[in-house]
Amino acid sequence: MKLGRAFAIAALALVGASACASGPSYADYQSSVPALKSAEGRLWFYRLGLLGGGIQPDIKVNGEVVGKSVSDGFFFVDRPPGHYTISNSTEAERTLALTLAPNEQKYVRMEAQIGMLVYTIKLVPVEREVALAEIAKTKFSGPTKP
């Protein structure tokens, strides 16, 4: 009985670990981030923790897939100023409306929450100082599209 429980725990840990971002840490990747063009803004996306790690929905900006919501991962996209709808879909579609100004950076935390059947990913706008401290705990989960 104890052996079966130990095997189950080890299997869950392995599945959870494989669902996490495996790229370079934010600290290692930070120097590779290109300078923001003055006529564009940058949208940062990140997800903390292992909760719902197997759920990795596409993240869309105005309907275009720009990345995936990966546990302990981050990515970013540069866009011209304007109004944007960020969305993802598991059992229900979640959206967040943002306005991006020239040379502005906005941060979106992707939070896994228990849904009716599967986890859903809530999109939460986050202030820069909080976001940078949290992103520091994550790994690059690109690819980042220019």
Q: What is the pLDDT of residues 108-128, one digit of tens each?
A: 999 988 877 778 899 999 999
pLDDT of residue 89: 86
Residue 19 domain-assigned (yes or no): yes
Residue 145 domain-assigned (yes or no): no
pLDDT of residue 19: 54
Q: Starting from the edge strand earliest in sequence, which strands make up the sheet with 58-61, in order? A: 64-68, 58-61, 82-89, 93-100
CATH at residue 55: 2.60.40.1120
Best CA proximity match to 73, nearest among 59, 88, 92, 89: 59
Residue 134 domain-assigned (yes or no): yes
Q: Distances from the Cα of 139 to the Cαs of 36, 45, 73, 83, 115, in angstroms?
A: 20, 11, 5, 28, 26
The least confident of 50-54, 107-111, 115-119, 138-142 is 50-54
Provide the residue range defining the domain that includes 96.
Answer: 2-140
Residue 113 domain-assigned (yes or no): yes
Residue 146 domain-assigned (yes or no): no
- Tell me how far apart the alpha carbons of residues 106 and 114 are, in angstroms, rounded to a whole number: 26
Quote the number of domains for the chain: 1
Residue 56 domain-assigned (yes or no): yes
Mean pLDDT estimate for the chain: 84
- Average pLDDT value for residue range 89-95: 85
Residue 46 domain-assigned (yes or no): yes
In the 8-state DSSP scheme, what is residue 57? P
Residue 43 domain-assigned (yes or no): yes
Cβ burial of 126 (10 Å; 0-12, 13-18, 19+) is middle
